[in-house]
Every structure is written in C-alpha cells, then in structure tokens.
C-alpha cells in the first residue's frame, strides 16, 4: 500500500498547482450563481453532478496518463486508488475509505478536510441546510471517471459538515460493469 | 460599561449592529445605556462617520483610536481597505482591548465576505457571525 502512497506523493509533486483561494472562490461562485438561477436546490445538486460528470470523464484520461496504474481487480482496490491517488493528486486530500457494505458493493469516503468548502456558510433560508449538497460536483467526477473505466456506480453525499453534521461522507455504490459497446451518455 | 458596535458599508449603510455590555468584573454582558440615550447613540455614531472620513486620508493605519467624543461617549473606529468602517461607541477608554477586539472582528469580517453566498455589501444576517462576535465581545470587553 505504501507504494501507492508514494506514487501519489510523487505525482502530486510533479503536478502544476493553482492557487487554492482562486480555486475555492471560483467553485463557490459557480454554486452561488446556480443557486440564484434555479429555484430548487435539488436542481442545483443535479447541475453540479452533471458538471462533475463532464469533468470526471475527461479527468480520468489525465489520471491514467500520469500514473500508469493498471486495471483494478475489485471494488476495494478501486476505492483505495481513488482515495490515495485520485483525490491526492488533484485535491491534495486523502479521504478515508470506510463503511463497506456487507457484500462489498458499497463504501464511503470520509472527507476530513474538504477544500471546496472553506469559508462557506450555507444561506440561512431554511432549505439550503436540508437540500443543498455544496460539493456535489465530486459525486459527478467519481461517477464520470469510473464510467469511462466501464464501472457504473452511483455516488451521493450522505452528510456534510456545512449542514452541521459531524463529518462529510460520500457514499459510492457499485451498480454493474458496463459491457463493451454501450454508448457513453455525455450530456 | 456598555458598547454599541456598528459595521458600516462603503455607501454608509449599516451592515451589522450589536449592543452589548462588558463581561468583566461581574458584568453580565447586557448593555446598560440609559433608555433616553439609546436612540441618540445611533445618531452619535452616524455623525462620527464624517470625522472618520476625514481621518482616513491622514493616517494609513486601519485602526484609528478614539476619533470622537460626545458627552461621555467615546467612538473608536477601524477602517478596512474596502472602506467598510467598524464603529464602536463606549463609555470607558480601553484602547488595548478595543484594538484587539476590532482586529479580531476584522478577521471575522474577512471570513464572512469570503463566503460565496454572501452578497457583497449586503447586511450580515448570519447567526454564526453574530454568535462569534458576541463571543469575541465576551472575551475582550
């Protein structure tokens, strides 16, 4: 396992970096603008997921080009690579992989330190606290990236510190392996 | 000792207001202004804005000490780079504590405006901000 961590660390060092505040403020203004444009927070979540899907389908190519990691044998390996290498080289965080379901088809990523949500306080209009998943773009990225690797998953947030929950938890559920030849639904 | 804090935006509109009293030496944190004096306090602060505006160009520091006096009330001011003014009306001189208080308030203010959901120069309605300002007041004043 330490070879993966080392690979991640080395790849992270070679990546070009962007100023964190610029990145966070850009993402924050995207979410704020979406909230202004759409009445329902559920719709905002969906838009963020779609944006993430577009990012993920393209990001996975960059990921494979940089890390040259081979095929994962099972979901556990996928989860491990996702958290130790994937999140590490793009966001410099390593979420913990926990809460495996009994049949090993679902797991949770616990983000202790979510850079997208720095400085953010959800609007106090009574609905944002219950309906908005601020970092929902990450769900789309995971779904899009894995779909390009023929693995279909569902990803959604179950808790978020911005809502007052104790931790930020993202649940990833394996649906099926995609057969060759299915058209990719690039919305 | 009672205090009135007002945060004023660049167009002289009030963004946040808090009345509180000292928590030191047995005080319970509630303001004790005389009832008839309370509406006057806001006028006093408003008129001190003129003085603050004059002093902005004379002094390059963000924290100005006491800028004005009215009867027995002192007004201290802190001006940010975006021309947002923190005005504190108080009846005792306590420069050190007020300076630290206003500086920490400045940091809280910065975090608030970094929030993507905060409309620029809108009144600050976040209850989290309010709670933190009160905690700061209890800590320093």
Q: Render B106-129 in DSSP notation, one character per residue.
A: HHHHHHHHHSTTSPTT-----HHH
Chain B: closest CA distance from residue A81 (Å): 32
pLDDT at A187 over 60: no
Tell me the pLDDT band of A37, cut-offs 50, 70 and 90.
very high
Tell me the pLDDT band of B25, cut-offs 50, 70 and 90.
low
| Per-residue confidence (pLDDT) for residue B68, from 0 to 100 | 82
Q: Do B125 and A121 touch (CB under 8 A)?
A: no
Decide if A119 contacts A26 (C-beta within 8 A): no
Question: What are A110's strand-pairing partners?
Answer: A96, A169
Strands across the sheet containing A96-98: A96-98, A106-111, A168-177, A151-159
How far from chain centre, in Å, is Cα A41? 19
DSSP A24: H
Instruction: Using alpha carbons, select from B72, B68, B73 the residue that is nearest to residue B90.
Output: B73
Identify which of B111, B126, B127 has the shortest CB distance to residue A119: B111
> To 10 degrees, what angle do helices A41-67 and A2-14 make?
100
Mutate which: A44, A119, A122, A124, vs B, most B CBs within 10 A: A119
For the range A96-103, what are the long-range contacts, defined as Cβ-Cβ under 8 Å and sequence gap of 24 or more? A99/A169, A99/A171, A100/A76, A101/A173
User: Helices in chain A by DSSP H: which ranges?
Assistant: 2-14, 20-37, 41-67, 75-81, 87-91, 128-131, 137-148
- Give CA torsion, residues A83, A84, A90, A91, to 10 deg: 70
Per the structure block, which two tokens stand in for B93? 């001189």
Q: Do B115 and A121 touch (CB under 8 A)?
A: yes
Average pLDDT, chain B: 86
Instruction: Using alpha carbons, select from A144, A62, A157 the residue that is nearest to residue A117.
Output: A157
Q: How far is Cα A49 from Cα A139, in angstroms, rounded to an integer?
A: 6
**Torsions phi, psi for A170 (to 5 deg):** -115, 125
pLDDT at A1 over 60: no
Q: Compute the residue count for chain B.
A: 141
B33-91 pLDDT, tens per residue? 777 777 888 888 888 888 888 888 887 788 888 888 887 888 899 999 888 999 998 88
3-state secondary structure of A100: coil
Scan for tokens 């006057």, then name that residue. Answer: B40
Chain B residue at shortest CA distance from A30: B116
Residues in chain A closer than 8 A to B111 (CB atoms) = 119
| Per-residue confidence (pLDDT) for residue A131, from 0 to 100 | 92
Q: How far is Cα B19 from Cα B34, in angstroms, rounded to an integer?
A: 13
Tell me the pLDDT band of B27, cut-offs 50, 70 and 90.
low
Mutate which: B110, B111, B116, B118, vs A, most A CBs within 10 A: B116
Terminal Cα-to-Cα distance of chain A (whole angstroms): 36
Mean pLDDT of A28-56: 94
Decide if A50 contacts A155 (C-beta within 8 A): no
Q: How far is Cα B77 from Cα B25, in angstroms, rounded to an integer?
A: 25
> Is this prediction's pTM over 0.90?
no
Average pLDDT, chain A: 91
Q: How far is Cα B115 from Cα B94, in angstroms, rounded to an integer?
A: 32
Element housing B51 (H / E): helix B38-56
Q: How far is Cα A120 from Cα A29, in angstroms, rounded to an integer?
A: 11
Mean pLDDT of A125-153: 93
Question: What ipTM goes with this model?
Answer: 0.79
Q: Does A101 touch chain B (CB under 8 A)?
A: no
Q: Do A121 and B117 touch (CB under 8 A)?
A: yes
Identify which of A25, A118, A122 has the shortest CB distance to residue B117: A122
Q: Do B117 and A119 touch (CB under 8 A)?
A: no
> Which is more confidently placed, A43 or B59?
A43
């Amino acid at each position: 396992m330490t070879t993966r961590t080392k690979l991640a660390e080395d790849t992270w060092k070679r990546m070009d970096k962007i100023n964190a505040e610029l990145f966070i403020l850009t993402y924050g203004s995207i979410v704020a603008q979406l909230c202004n444009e759409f009445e329902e927070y559920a719709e905002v979540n969906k838009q963020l997921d779609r944006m993430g899907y577009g990012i993920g389908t393209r990001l996975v190519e960059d990921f494979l080009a940089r890390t040259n990691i081979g095929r994962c044998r099972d979901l556990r390996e996928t989860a491990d690579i996702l958290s130790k290498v994937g999140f590490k080289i793009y966001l410099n965080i390593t979420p913990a992989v926990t809460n495996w379901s009994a049949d090993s088809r679902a797991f949770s990523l616990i983000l202790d330190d979510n850079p997208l949500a720095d400085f953010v306080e959800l609007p106090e209009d009574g609905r944002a606290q219950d309906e908005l998943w601020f970092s929902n773009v990450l769900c789309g990225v995971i779904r899009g990236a894995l779909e390009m690797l023929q693995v279909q998953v569902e990803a959604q947030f179950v808790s978020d510190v911005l809502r007052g929950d104790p931790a930020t938890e993202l649940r990833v559920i394996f649906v099926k392996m995609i057969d060759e030849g299915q058209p990719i639904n690039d919305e | 000792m009672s205090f009135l804090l007002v945060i004023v935006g660049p167009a002289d509109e009030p963004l946040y207001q808090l009345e509180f009293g000292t928590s030191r030496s047995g005080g319970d944190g509630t303001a004790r202004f005389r009832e008839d004096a309370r509406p006057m306090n806001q006028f006093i602060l408003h008129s001190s804005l003129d003085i603050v505006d004059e002093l902005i160009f004379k002094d390059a520091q963000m924290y100005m000490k006491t800028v004005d006096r009215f009867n027995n009330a002192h007004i201290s001011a802190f001006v940010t780079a975006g021309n947002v003014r923190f005005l504190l009306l108080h009846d005792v001189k306590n420069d050190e504590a007020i300076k630290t208080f206003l500086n920490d308030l400045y940091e809280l203010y910065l975090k608030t405006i970094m929030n993507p959901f905060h409309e620029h120069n809108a009144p600050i309605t976040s209850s989290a901000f309010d709670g933190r300002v009160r905690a700061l007041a209890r800590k320093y004043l």
